[in-house]
Every structure is written in structure tokens, then in C-alpha cells.
Structure 1
Amino acid sequence: MKHLVVALALFAAPAVADSPCCATGDLGLVVERATGSVLLIDRSERSALARIEGLGDLSHASLTYSPDERFAYVFGRDGGLTKVDLLERLVVGRTIQAGNSIGGAISDDGELVAVSNYSPGGVKVFDAETLELVADIPAAGKTIGLADLPGRRFIWAVWDTGHAYLGDFSGEGPVITDLGHIGTNPFDAVVTDDAHTYLIGLFGEKGVTAIDLWDKEPKPVRFLKDYGKKEEDMPVYKMPHLQGWAFTEGQFVLPAVGQHELLWVDRETLEEKGRTAMHGQPVFIIAQPASPYVWVNFATPRNGVVQVVDSRTHEVVKTLEPGKAVLHMEFAPRGAEVWVSVRDDNKVLVYDTRSFEKKGEIEAQAPSGIFFTARAHQPGL
């Protein structure tokens, strides 16, 4: 029996030796927007592990992860698509694929990375392993709201034409479907957490558009068409980010563009259920996992505050003042903590979501987006 144990140990040893140096489930990246770098962070230790540089213009950057959580794909404002290895802690691929890009997505099988572009407009799709171009889908204007859908598909909209498009990449070549006119100047869009609905915010007219992605023939449906027609809009200092729209308690929680309000809409009927007066113009509205609460940050000049709202009562239950220019929030996957980037104070703060006590602080260079690797397993992110 002793010889058998030794033999099994020897057989298993190479597998252990060839394994990656560390697990990725606790890792994340913080975008350092002013320096073209990302900060690799350890969520459990509330610490920074490494700074990875050479990612270009990150003044409006986002990223997504490969299914195994090892690689991040960073979409920069300069049209750069950068592949980062979290284990090796370095850039392993980079291409300038456009003049100005606004975001991207990865297919559900992890094999394709798509980028939406302002200049020139359109969507480009790349092989996730090599970053070689797979498809170039032109558009008559700026593409916005690019998101992944099940079945190796992507969806996006075009600011200039007001149309939405569905791209199916499951066959030998891409099949692009025009889903119709969705409204004037769609400025951003998001796929709901169950990949059921595509929500598009409109800047050129009042209202929001929903597309039922489970329908065999998806069609745009307008709602909130009468909201704000009697009120005078304030100047919009920063457009809301729809990937921060919250879905909770059977509701969509939406930012009132040009107003200091949240709008609550029934997910099934698309009817307004209430409004919440807020500290400022909402930018991100993010649902705290495993709770009835949503957290909200705001546009300049009132961007030093975060408010917490109860989705059952629509009331503000907590107001925090983390520092100057709060740009983004990211929750631990089960909601125990929230990480908050404070750009002008050059730091990331960590709060306990039950007690609201500060649990940690990390120095960062003008931090903006915070992205944990748990996003690798969520549709639309």
C-alpha cells in the first residue's frame, strides 16, 4: 500500500507543478485613467498586487474577462484593445483597432471579443486568443451599448441612425439583423441580468426602449415616453452609464437624465412605479447582491457622495461622502463589501455593506472603473 501511495503522489506531482501560481477568483483590476495603467487587486486581502502599464488612453475605459478569469480585455478611448494576463501580470497583446472606441464584450464561449467604435463607427470582432480580426461590421455612425448574448451573439445600437442590431456569430459567417428604429440618439444600453431584455436610453427624445430578446422576432417597445415633459431639464454634466442600471425587486431602476431622480419601472409591465429624489444627477445605479438595496453615485459637481436606496420603499437609507469625484462602485460577488473609486483623492475605499464602516483603503492613480473577475460569469458584462 505504501508503494501505491508513493506512485499516486508521483503521478499527481506534475499536474500541481504545471498549475498557475495562484487562483484568480479574488482578483480584479482598477483602471487608472490618467496614466494608461491598471492596478491588479486582491479582494480578500484588500490590497494592490501590481501595476500593469502601457494600455494607452484609459480616460473612458472598460474591460471584460475570459471565462477562466485569467485574461482581461481592456477597451481604451484611443481605439486600443489590450489583452492582460492576470497571472503573469503583464500585457500579452495589443492592437489599435480604431480611432475612438467606447467599450466591448466577450462571447459566451470566450472565443470572440467585440469592440464598439465611435470613429469610425461600427463593430469589430477579434479572436480572443490571438487578437486577429474576425469580422468588421460597419455602421452609419457611433456604435453604443455593445453587449454579449447567449449563443455567440452580440447586440448594439447606433447613435446617429437610432437603430439596434443583433449579430449572430455562431455559424461560418456573421448574420446581422436590423432590429428596427429604437428612438433618437440612443446614448447607451444594457442587457438585463437574465439576458431577457435589452434596455436603451434615449438622449434625443424622452423615453426608454426595451427589446425582448427571448422573443423569436424581437421588436423595440417604447416606455416612459411622457416622463419629464413638464419639467425643465438641467444641464447634463455626465451621461449615465447604463451598465450600472439596477434590476431588483421586480423593477428596473433608471437614472432620470437631466434630473436629480431615480425612476422605478415594473419589469413586466414597463409602467412607472415611483420616483426617488436624489442628491444629484445619477451616473451609476448598482444593485447590491443578495439585498434590496441599490447604490448610486453622481455627476459633477455633486460627485463626492454615494447614496443607498431601499428598492422596497424607494427611500434613501444612507448617504456616504467617500471623497472627491466618486467614479465607480463594484460589489464583492455576494455583496458583503463595496469598493469605491475616488479619482481626485487617488484612492479606492472598501466599505462593509451592512455597517457602512470603512474596511480598507488602497492608493491608486486617478482610479475610475473597478472590475472583479466574477464578471466573467455574468451575461452582459
Structure 2
Amino acid sequence: MKRFAFGLLAALLATTAQAEPMATGDLGLVIERARGSVLLVDQSDRAALARIEGLGDLSHASLVYSPDERFAYVFGRDGGLTKVDIVTRQVVNRVVQAGNAIGGAISDDGKLVAVSNYEPGGVRVFDADTLEMVADIPTGGKTIGLVDAPGRRFVFTGWDNGETWIADFSGPEMELTKIKDMGENPYDALITANGRTYITGLFGEDGLTALDLWDETPEPIRVLPGYGRGQQEMPVYKMPHLEGWAHTGEEFVLPAVGHHEVLWVDAATLTETGRTKTYGQPVFAMARPDGRHVWVNFAHPLNDTIQVIDTVSKQVIHEFKPGPAVLHMEFTPRGHEIWISVRDADKVMVYDTHTFEKLREIDAESPSGIFFTARAHRTGL
């Protein structure tokens, strides 16, 4: 009997020794919006590893990662919250928590996942392990700009009422703080990497509004009020995304609504420092991790083009056309490459960020968002 037991143990140890360990730091997920799937990709090999299906409507989807980078929480347009294991490459849990969702966030300790909803509105918060709901926060309308903040907090804003709410889960009971008069129709928001400054863009008026979250009683701070005054506003074909904001160290670079330009704002004083004319209406303005260049893509019908802006001169230094419907960009963590989803070409394209050379094309079905696991360690992503 002992001989059999030792033989079984030896066989198990041999199997374990032969198993290839899987590290997650080099991986990422690409949203395939048309088929309700995500594509698992490897940065170093510039290759797709697997397709994970059954995630519902991903026509406007985003995701966040657990602190250990193993699990992705995917927020679908249909209100679905799906937990994906990128090691086993499968869906491990899924709940449809609302009728129409618009993104989410994970708490700094990785224990809570929050989802921002259009229908029925408000924010719902879930246990990251079980996906059981732990809080339902109705806001009376569409909720946008949901981000995580240090101290087990979530910050979000109402489109209809122009209020920003802070939900604090650091104690035994959730505490809510409401800040009024943020502006007309806030459409998206961002938070700085240190968790101090929350900025929401306004669709109903020219300008943005900031909050200093280090202040015990944060008050709205108007940023670039009336920045389009005197200019003819153009039709807005796609709302800009502030989550793809650029922070170059000393300045924010923000897409203007209804104008062909990006706006430069001093990060300390929140005053304008410049403007750069662009090819079209910017959607994402994203800084390379070292802050030297900002990459910008554009709304339909000019969404086949990318421009690269030098942050010293504030001038466009490179322009190219990856293909039809460039939707999203993601830098590798140190910024030596950028991955670009080109939806209507069914491709993800990889470029060298210094030479602008195309390095690889990866087949993907209607790709949109690209999310590398390094996001697990950054506030607000």
C-alpha cells in the first residue's frame, strides 16, 4: 500500500513539474465587440493566445483587473458583469445587473467591483470574489465617470443632475458625499494617478470641472470655462473619452468637444497652457508612459487616422492611417510599443512608438478596447 501511495505521489509531482507555469504580466485582453468575446493576447510574442466567448453585448465595453492580474471584470453594454479567468481562459461567473451599463471600477484593495449604469441608473457594487451585490446606489439618472479612488472609495457623476458622488467603503457602513453644481451634462471623467484630482468633461457647456479629493469638503473648480467661445461648434459624432486622457507630468492634454483640437492644461493650476489643432474631433488623447508624445485618434468620419503630438513643442510630428475605424490604443507598460484596434479591418496593429514602424498585425473580430494587465496596478484604470 505504501509503495502504491509513493508511486501516486511521484506521478503527481512529475505532472506538476511538467506543467508550464503561466505568468500574467505580459498578457492583455482585446474586446471583440461584434461577437461578445475577448481575445487573450501576449505582448512579447505579439500574438493571440485564445478567444473567450459568452460575454454578451460588448458594443461599448470596458474591463478592470484584479490586483493579482488573474481575473478580468468585463462591463458589457447589456448590463452584464462577467468575471474572466485569464489563466484558465474561461468565464467563471456572470451576472446581468442592469439593463444598460457604461463601465466600472475596482476598489484599491481589489475586494469590490462597481458598475455604472444608464438603465436604471446609479451604481451597483459587488463582491469581487462572488459577484454578489453589496450595495445599490440609485442616483435618479444616468451615471458616468465612475473611477476608483484611494481609501476604498468610488467617485461617479450624474449626467442628468450634474452631481458628483463619493461612495466610501472604508468603514463598516458605506458613506456617501454629494457635490452639486458640477456643470451641465457631464459626459465622462478621469482621476489622476495619485488619486487627488477628479476631472469631469461637460457636454452641455464648454469647459470641465475638477475636484480636489484631498480636500475634506471638495468644491467644484471650473476648468477652461467657455473654451470654444467665438468658434463655430461642429456636430459631435462621438463623445471624447477622458479615460484616455494624457498626463505628461506637468500638463493634462484633453480632447475638445465639438472642435478639432486638444487642450493643454497646467496640472497644478488647472489653467490653459495651449491648444493644438488636430485632423478631426479627438476621441482619445493618450500620453506615452514617459510623457514625451501624445497619440490622438478621431471620431467618424475621420477615424482612419492617428496623429502624434510632441509635448515639448505641442506640434503634430507624425500622422498615419492604420485603417478604417481606429477605435482604441494601448501602450505597453514602458511605452516602447502601442497596440491599435482597427475595427473595420478586423485587425489589432502593433507599432514601434519611436520609429512608427508597424511590427505586427493580429486578426481580431471587430476589435475595440485593448487592456493590458499592467492596468491592475494603476488608479483609475
- What is the CA–CA distance in structure 1 between the aligned matches of 2:20 and 2:65, rounded to whole Å? 17
- What is the CA–CA distance in structure 1 between the aligned matches of 2:130 and 2:291, rounded to whole Å? 40
Alpha-carbon contact 2:249-2:291 (below 8 Å) kept: no
Partner residue, 2:207: 207
Partner residue, 1:359: 359
Partner residue, 1:375: 375
Aligned length: 370
Alpha-carbon contact 1:249-1:311 (below 8 Å) kept: no
Alpha-carbon contact 2:25-2:69 (below 8 Å) kept: yes
* C-alpha distance after superposition, 1:139-198 (max 9, x if no partner): 110000000011110000000000000000111121111022200100000101221100
- What is the CA–CA distance in structure 2 between the aligned matches of 1:17 and 1:29, rounded to whole Å? 28
Partner residue, 1:292: 292
- What is the CA–CA distance in structure 1 between the aligned matches of 2:371 and 2:327, rounded to whole Å? 13
Return the offset for 1:294: 0.6
* SS, match of residue 376 in structure 2: helix
Please tell me whether residue 126 in structure 1 is matched to residue 126 in structure 2.
yes
Partner residue, 1:104: 104
Alpha-carbon contact 2:292-2:310 (below 8 Å) kept: yes
- Within 5 Å, which residues of 2 pair with 1:168-207? 168-207=168-207
Return the offset for 1:290: 1.6
Return the offset for 1:69: 0.2
* C-alpha distance after superposition, 1:273-321 (max 9, x if no partner): 1110100000001110124111000000000001100111110011021
Alpha-carbon contact 2:350-2:361 (below 8 Å) kept: yes
- Within 5 Å, which residues of 2 pair with 1:224-263? 224-263=224-263
Partner residue, 1:29: 29
Alpha-carbon contact 1:21-1:87 (below 8 Å) kept: no
Partner residue, 1:114: 114
Return the offset for 1:251: 0.6
* SS, match of residue 380 in structure 2: coil
Alpha-carbon contact 1:287-1:295 (below 8 Å) kept: yes
- What is the CA–CA distance in structure 2 between the aligned matches of 1:223 and 1:171, rounded to whole Å? 33
Of stretches 100-109 and 177-186 in structure 1, the one that deviates more from structure 2 is 177-186
Partner residue, 1:7: none
Return the offset for 1:21: 3.3
Return the offset for 1:226: 2.3
Alpha-carbon contact 1:148-1:154 (below 8 Å) kept: yes
- Aligned AA (1:332): T
- What is the CA–CA distance in structure 2 between the aligned matches of 1:20 and 1:199, rounded to whole Å? 44
- Aligned AA (2:112): L
Q: Which runs of 5+ in 1 are unaligned?
A: 1-9
Of stretches 246-255 and 99-108 in structure 1, the one that deviates more from structure 2 is 246-255
Partner residue, 1:62: 62
* C-alpha distance after superposition, 1:244-283 (max 9, x if no partner): 1111141110111000001101111111111101000000
- What is the CA–CA distance in structure 2 between the aligned matches of 1:193 and 1:20, rounded to whole Å? 35
TM-score normalised to structure 1 length: 0.95
- Aligned AA (1:122): G
Partner residue, 1:325: 325
* SS, match of residue 161 in structure 2: coil
Alpha-carbon contact 1:249-1:312 (below 8 Å) kept: no
Return the offset for 1:18: 11
Tell me how large the CA RMSD over aligned residues is. Answer: 1.5
Alpha-carbon contact 1:193-1:247 (below 8 Å) kept: no
Please tell me whether residue 277 in structure 1 is matched to residue 277 in structure 2.
yes
Return the offset for 1:17: 5.4
Partner residue, 1:5: none
- What is the CA–CA distance in structure 2 between the aligned matches of 1:345 and 1:62, rounded to whole Å? 21
Deviation above 2 Å: which 4+ runs of structure 1?
16-21
* C-alpha distance after superposition, 1:102-145 (max 9, x if no partner): 00000000000000000001000000000000000011100000
Alpha-carbon contact 2:41-2:48 (below 8 Å) kept: yes
Alpha-carbon contact 1:31-1:39 (below 8 Å) kept: yes
Partner residue, 1:313: 313
- Aligned AA (1:221): I
Alpha-carbon contact 2:191-2:197 (below 8 Å) kept: yes
- What is the CA–CA distance in structure 1 between the aligned matches of 2:19 and 2:87, rounded to whole Å? 11
Partner residue, 1:302: 302
Partner residue, 2:158: 158
- What is the CA–CA distance in structure 1 between the aligned matches of 2:37 and 2:101, rounded to whole Å? 17
Q: Which runs of 5+ in 2 are unaligned?
A: 1-9
* SS, match of residue 276 in structure 1: strand
- What is the CA–CA distance in structure 2 between the aligned matches of 1:189 and 1:270, rounded to whole Å? 15
Return the offset for 1:70: 0.2
Return the offset for 1:20: 8.1
